[in-house]
Amino acid sequence: MKKKTINKKTIIDVQNISKHYVMGPMVTKALKGISFKIYKGEFVGIMGPSGSGKSTTLHQLGLLDIPTSGRIFIDGVEVTTLSDIERSYFRLNKLGYVFQQYRNIPELTALENVYLPLRMMGKPRYYYLNEAKTLLEKVGLKDRMHHHPFELSGGEQQRVALARALAHKPDILFADEPTANLDTEAGEVILNLLKHFNEDYGQTIVMVSHDLEQIKYFDRIIRIKDGLLER
């Protein structure tokens, strides 16, 4: 089992990114030029009040959106200039996501949801089945792997989502308020799992949260307010 090490190797380098949303004559400046770095093995919390731009920041880092200006480097690759297909390939191979509302695929069982990214990567059947089963065991869903998402509780669904996000061993795991829809107990299970994967496997995690109670889980916090970094 790996033990947590932060070797100061930059894995995310954000350089002066801004994001503007244009709706008719209205321009909303969600991000107004922010820069920061995240190092390999860190568990970073992006925090700030509602509407501050923290989720927008996560979406830019996670290649779910394209910033209006600025540059983002992930593991040395400038991702802001990648083509659509390259971004897709990059997401599949390097990044994992956990959404606030789980977003598992309802037609697939827990096991199928987890092995889907591996199957998409072209891994052999024995490999993706084993990996998915192992991960589901790690998140405590050994007996629920053949259930569909609608047969699982919110906490269990989020654990499936977490396993899915980690199945392909991403360089960075992004989590957008993963406990916001869960009760305290289920939320703590998720946070402890995140901490476990961070500390024991060196998984880099960037998580958005507005819950001050969760500060204790993070190695470092990036605070955002009104689209700017709060110093």
Which residue lies nearer to other proteins by CB, 58 or 191? Answer: 58
Q: Which stretch binds other proteins (CB under 8 A): 31-39, 44-52, 118-126, 137-145?
A: 118-126
> Looking at 22, 26, 106, 231, which residue binds other proteins (CB under 8 A)?
106
Give the binding range for other proteins (CB under 8 A) out of 41-49, 94-102, 151-159, 218-226: 94-102
State the nearest-atom distance from the C-beta of 99 to other proteins, in Å: 7
Write the interaction track for other proteins spanning residues 34-63; mark x where CB under 8 A is met and - where it is not. -------------------------x--x-
Asked if 93 interacts with other proteins (CB under 8 A), we say yes
Contact 111, 132 (CB under 8 A): yes
Distance CA 33, CA 195 (A): 30
Contacts of 151 (CB under 8 A, 6+ apart): 144
Q: Judged by CB under 8 A, does residue 90 bind other proteins?
A: yes
Give the residue carrying structure tokens 């496997």. Answer: 201
DSSP string, the chain: ---------EEEEEEEEEEEEEETTEEEEEEEEEEEEEETT-EEEEE-STTSSHHHHHHHHTTSS--SEEEEEETTEEGGG--HHHHHHHHHHHEEEE-TT----TTS-HHHHHHHHHHHTT--HHHHHHHHHHHHHHTT-GGGTTS-GGGS-HHHHHHHHHHHHHTT--SEEEEESTTTTS-HHHHHHHHHHHHHHHHHH--EEEEEE--GGGGGG-SEEEEEETTEE--
Taking the complex as a whole, the smallest distance from the CB of residue 62 to other proteins amounts, in Å, to 8
Which CB atom, from 95 or from 189, has the smaller least distance to other proteins? 95
CB of 27 to other proteins, least distance (A): 18
Residue of the chain from 30, 44, 116, 189 that contacts other proteins (CB under 8 A): 116
Residue in 6, 108, 180, 221 binding other proteins, rule: CB under 8 A: 108
Query: At its nearest, how many Å lie between other proteins and the CB of residue 132?
Result: 14
Please report whether residue 85 would count as binding other proteins according to CB under 8 A.
yes
Residues binding other proteins (CB under 8 A): 59, 62, 64-65, 84-85, 88-93, 95, 97, 99, 103, 105-108, 112, 116-117, 119-122, 164
